[in-house]
Structure 1
Amino acid sequence: MKHMTGLILVLLMAACATSPTGRNQLILVGDEQMQEMGISAFQQIKSDKKISQNSQKQAYVTCVAEHIIAALPDQWANRQWEIVVFDDDTANAFALPGGKIGVHTGLLDVAETPSQLAAVIGHEIAHVLARHGAERVSLQVAAQTGLQVADIMARQHMEGTTEQQILMAGLGIGAQVGVLLPFSRAHESEADQYGLNLMARAGFNPEESIQLWKNMDRASKGQRPPEFLSTHPEPENRILALEKYLPEAQNLQRQAIANGRRPNCR
């Protein structure tokens, strides 16, 4: 038991990483493995969901995404990205490791301008660049490993007892509410901050991210769980945070425009 616990601690210490905003991360999964998972997942999504046949919407979304990609650091800008618009009424988008971006047609009813769409795509690309997928998988592995260790400890002292069942149930709740979900909210907040800079570096107007989340708030009224049990911050809190990050992003946009980055997507 001591050997197993020690091994887990060594693995956790060796897996420390730092996010683009300076936050400490736990990464137990390699980038190559995450890319393979992302590519496989995207293939499955394309099989399961209807791909939009609207060439104008596809061209518009591709234009916005490619402007952001072109402004990414070279290691990301030089990769082969695939951008697909799905015929789906929900206001959603996602990006996966392996250079995959999906946008639902329903998002185009909420993101009313190119800069508002850029705010969403920038946010989703930020998840990939910040390795949030790998971190989420790692947290789940660590939480599951911790539960297994706790189960072994519990069995040593109270095999088959009601107390053991209560302990495991309590740890399960604790791992879900106390660890996994708060980190997911941290990911969303970090992707907001980093994504705002990504869209601004491409020349899009970061101020329009505020209006986007106001639109999102109106579109999702009555459909969100309480923030405590949600992986996404409340729109009001999200907007306050974005307002704090705006000056830096506006400066990045001015630099982008000075360098000739003037996206004109329609």
Structure 2
Amino acid sequence: MNEIAEFWPDRRLLGQSAFSETRTGTRFQQIPGALTLHPPEHPTFDKERDPLWQFAVPIGVSSIDAMTVRTKARTRARTFMPSKPDKYSVRFYAVVGWSSLYVHSLWDNSSGNTMPSTPAERYTGLFPILRTPLYNTLRADEVTLEQESAIALWITMAGYQTRAMRSPTGHRLVVSDNFYTHHTFAQALLKFTDGEMHLLGTVRINLVDKWNKPVVSVAVTRADGGPRGGWGLVAAVDPEPGWGKKKQVHQNAQRRIAKAK
């Protein structure tokens, strides 16, 4: 059946008797022309209809972490983690609001995905409003990040909150464990959210870049020997953008300098 009129045919074995018993076909086709739809005039309209409206977009503190879904399927997306209760599972990244405990962003970790697009590209393909911020962030001088990296996906997932609704206070916080806490992640997140979202988390010393590892190691040693409740503040050092290529150019130039006799 392709047209509304075919629900009320005169021929046998066609149509539905419930339609003709409820209302005539002519009367039914007159109804849509008499309907007029208006957008809600008052913002409380949606609030009254949806008791969870305040949880739609977290505006305070959120967490980013991995979650797993157990599976027995033979798929490349399945990962093996002997230390986890579900040893064979599909891993997802999730951003969860603290006040509501609702998942705001959810995406798989792309394990086994052979598509040419990156995880961040696939996520922004679902939410096109994030494409321009991601493009500008990856090309910023203060951000040293590759588009193929998992961090590029993390900043789009966490930063989606600021693109959906700005915080009334102008500040947001995302908390992570030592797997996600990276200085490059924090820098890129600040750039992506125009300075609104900061990162707070424990740090794994072997993941600290070589520029900041010496001072962080000293701070950790000082904290271990200090009084209970003590803390220290370490200023992170940003490497020079493109330092790897500049170092190679410098070394090549040094080789061409004639040695002193």
Task: Say yes or no: TM over 0.5.
Answer: no
Greater helix percent: which structure?
Answer: 1
Q: Which has the higher contact order (CA 8 A, sep 6+)?
A: 1
- In terms of Rg, which structure is larger? 2
* TM-score normalized by the length of structure 1: 0.26
* TM-score normalized by the length of structure 2: 0.26
